[in-house]
């Protein structure tokens, strides 16, 4: 099972979403040693690699955006593709030591690329990010994020900064993005989100004080939605954002 990526696109058979075999990979200039194991188990068949941006898909195949394969691949297939993408991206971006520039070498038995000259080690990057749905009485706070063309409303989110706990990130991001103070944080769940390397950690929180004041470079609009309000377009069920919102919908909403 070979996962071949061109940037954030996965090579699949156009009609079925089937992954390429070893012969197709070889035709793309990918010998077996160029394919990274996706799991540490030496018997696991999954391998992953990146090709250059100018590589064209072979006849009958297409490079498809990973996000666009939701619904084409099942949940298990998407989870494997997401993991494979992160492994392939790690291998692509750490071919050379970030400290001295020496070609890095794969360490047996772990996901580690180590410099043979200075010993610097590089592991697959995972960037923790919080997501929070703020509740106020029977209403919930949803926002439209800047930089996105769609009209989707979703929960607030942001990356953890150095020295922060995830709870501190929740308080900071909510105040920065919408000017509100919150409390009573409750863990909801987590999801690997390989676009490119996030771990989304979702919470609910209760409104404490403040008036909505959006951070314009991050948020286009933020507002309370409660019972009787028309339901806006929200994140899909495949994302933890969609699950978080649907688990706390105001009375009368459905979807």
pTM, 2 dp: 0.86
Q: Rounded to an integer, what distance in angstroms lies between the CA atom of residue 25 and that of residue 17?
A: 16
Using 50 as the pLDDT threshold, list the residues of the chain that sit under it. none
All structural domains of the chain, each given as residue ranges with its CATH number in brackets, are: 2-93 (no CATH), 95-125 (no CATH), 127-246 (3.90.79.10)
Token representation of residue 49: 């690699």
DSSP, collapsed to helix, strand or coil, labels residue 85 as helix
- In this structure, are residues 121 and 145 in contact, taking their beta carbons and an 8 Å threshold? no
Give me the half-sphere count of Cα atoms (radius 13 Å) on the Cβ side of residue 168. Answer: 6
Could you read off the pLDDT of 131-163 as tens digits, one per residue? Answer: 999 999 999 999 999 877 678 999 999 999 999
Q: Rounded to an integer, what distance in angstroms lies between the CA atom of residue 124 and that of residue 197?
A: 9
Q: Angle at Cα 75 formed by Cα 73 and Cα 76, nearest 5°?
A: 90
């Amino acid at each position: 099972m070979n996962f071949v990526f061109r940037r954030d696109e996965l090579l699949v058979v156009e009609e079925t979403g089937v992954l390429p075999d070893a012969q197709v990979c070889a035709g793309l200039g990918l010998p077996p040693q160029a394919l990274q194991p996706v799991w540490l188990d030496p018997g696991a068949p999954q391998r992953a690699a990146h090709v250059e941006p100018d590589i064209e898909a072979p006849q009958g195949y297409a490079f498809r955006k990973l996000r666009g394969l939701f619904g084409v691949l099942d949940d298990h297939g998407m989870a494997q593709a997401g993991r494979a993408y992160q492994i392939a991206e790690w291998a692509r971006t750490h071919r050379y030591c970030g400290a001295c520039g020496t070609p890095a070498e794969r360490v047996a038995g772990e996901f580690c690329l180590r410099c043979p000259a200075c010993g610097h080690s590089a592991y697959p990057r995972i960037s923790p990010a919080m997501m929070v749905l703020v509740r106020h009485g029977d209403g919930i706070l949803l926002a439209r994020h800047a930089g996105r063309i769609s009209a989707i409303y979703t929960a607030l989110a942001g990356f953890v900064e150095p020295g922060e706990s995830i709870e501190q990130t929740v308080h900071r991001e909510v105040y920065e993005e919408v000017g509100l103070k919150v409390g009573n944080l409750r863990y909801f769940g987590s999801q690997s989100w390989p676009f490119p390397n996030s771990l989304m950690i979702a919470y609910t929180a209760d409104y404490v004080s403040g008036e909505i004041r959006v951070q314009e470079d991050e948020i286009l609009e933020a507002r309370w939605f409660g019972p009787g309000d028309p339901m806006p377009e929200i994140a899909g069920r495949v994302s933890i954002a969609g699950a978080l919102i649907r688990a706390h919908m105001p009375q009368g909403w459905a979807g």
